[in-house]
Amino acid sequence: MPSTDAEPYGLATHAAAVLAARTGVDLHDVAVVLGSGWSRAAAELGDGPSVELADVPGFPAPSVAGHGAAVRSVEIGGRRILVFLGRVHLYEGHDPAVVAHGVRTAALAGCRTIVLTNGAGSLRRDWPIGQPVLISDHVNLTGRSPLTGTSPPAPFGSRFVDLTDLYSARLRAVARTVELDLPDGVYVGFHGPHFETPAEIRMAATIGGDLVGMSTVLEAIAARHMGMEVLGLSLATNLAAGISDVPIDGADVLAAGDAAGERIGRLLAGILAADAVT
C-alpha cells in the first residue's frame, strides 16, 4: 500500500502502530537506515524482532541489490533501535512521500534521532575506498522534495523547514568519540539510477561536493521536518566518474561495503551505544 503525498502522515502513524504491535516495543529511541554497502554492518548491531516491510502499511519492497526488505528492533546501550535493512529510491519509480515513509514512520514510532547511511562515489583521491565519511551538508539535485503537495496537517510543522543545521554537528562529535579521525564531506544527491557523467562530477566539485549518491537527501529533509536529529554516514565505495580510469560498477559498490563491513559495523554500533547519542 504505497503512500501518496495527500496523506503520508496518517499512513506513517498507522505503520508505526503496526511496528509497535509486531515488535512488542511501544516506543523506539533511534532509527538507522542501512544503505548500499552497509548490509554486512547489520550483524554488528545484534538481533531482535524482525518485521517484513511488506507487512507494514506504506512500504513497497526494495528492488535494489543489497537492500533488505525488513526492519529489525534491537537494543543497544539500553536504547531501542529500529534498523531498516534497506531503503527505496526515487529511481525505482517511487514518489518522494514513499521514499520518506520510513523516516516518518520511525519518528512516529518515537525515534528522535536517525542515522542515515549510504554508499557514495568519492570526489576525493585522498580518501581510500572503504572510508566512512560524516555528512556535514548536502546539495539536493534530485529536483524533488518530500514536503511538496498539501500542507502537513496539525500537529506537524510548516513545510518551510529550516535546513541550516540539518546534519547535526553534535552527533558528528559523538561519532568522533568512536573513531577520532572521521572526515567530513558534502553529499550531492542525484536522481539516478545511472551513474553520473564526468561533467556532472566536475559540477559537483565546483559547488562544493565531496561525495555523490542517489539517496539520503529526501530522507534527511523529512527527518528534520519531523523534528529528528540527523547523523549522515557515507561509505566511499568508489571514485566518481572521471576521477579515475576505473569503470564504475554497482557490484563493486557492494563489494567495497562487504570488505569494510566489520569496521563500519563496529563504528555504527559504537555510535549507537554512546551515552550522548540521544
Is residue 25 a part of any domain in this protein? yes
Rounded Cα gap, residues 169 and 155, in angstroms: 27
Where is pLDDT greater, at 70 or 66? 70
Confidence of residue 91 (pLDDT cuts 50, 70, 90): very high
Per-residue pLDDT reduced to its tens digit, 179-215: 999 999 999 999 999 999 999 999 999 999 999 999 9
Domain range for 255 is 8-273
Confidence of residue 112 (pLDDT cuts 50, 70, 90): very high
Is residue 45 a part of any domain in this protein? yes
C-alpha cell at 87: 531503503
Query: Do 53 and 22 contact (CB within 8 A), yes or no?
Result: no
For residue 91, give the 3-state DSSP assignment.
Answer: helix
Is residue 2 a part of any domain in this protein? no
Is residue 278 a part of any domain in this protein? no
The number of CA neighbours under 13 Å toward the Cβ of 80 is 18
Per-residue pLDDT reduced to its tens digit, 20-44: 999 999 999 999 999 988 888 888 9
Per-residue pLDDT reduced to its tens digit, 150-176: 899 989 999 999 999 999 999 999 999
pTM assigned to the model: 0.94
Overall domain count for the chain? 1
Strand 70-76 with 50-52, pairing: antiparallel
Rounded Cα gap, residues 112 and 147, in angstroms: 19
CATH number of the domain enclosing 128: 3.40.50.1580
**Among 72-81, 157-166, 245-254, which stretch is predicted with the lowest mean pLDDT?**
245-254
Confidence of residue 4 (pLDDT cuts 50, 70, 90): very low
Counting DSSP H helices and E strands in the chain, the numbers are 8, 9
pLDDT at residue 65, as a whole number: 67
Is residue 3 a part of any domain in this protein? no
